[in-house]
Structure 1
């Protein structure tokens, strides 16, 4: 009986460890809020055992100074071995991340259905 309880506990633990954390950001990300966004994202890293999924559906613009939030997050994620996915980034946001070379360190995905 004890082995069965341990096996069930191991399965539950594996499921918890496999879960990802999704953070949905809203509004422009610029110098005025980059520090708060960086704090939110890096704090999210501390509470996940799986991938960090950043949903940018509602982010219309990412300034060059706003990209600092992602640099800090990626640095922390790489240190802890947590993969980071950026979801639904519009072309301007992708270009801002690309200009810093961050696209090599991120996975991009898009939930928009194909026409």
Structure 2
């Protein structure tokens, strides 16, 4: 009798542990990725990946509320990746602009050097 009670109690405890509430970690990661992308300047409407990231995050939140964990995780991961792509696109554009400015400065210096030589 006592052994049966211990077995039932153990089974109940294991069942309670296996039914933990759904994790919001993927949604948090996506939100953070979107905020980082925004801070880097990716909030520009010309950056389509940022819009995609925000849309997918919204869809992931709807799926999470509907308890569709697989869809919520998938959309959340896609949103984080889209936000990273948006951030990378902005960083690449800033690098291109900086390189163009350096090239222009070098060209001006070369021109000045050729003018000052007899």
Tell me the TM-score range normalised by the shorter chain: 0.3 to 0.5
Larger Rg: 2
Return the structure number with greater helix share: 2
**TM-score by structure 1 length?**
0.33
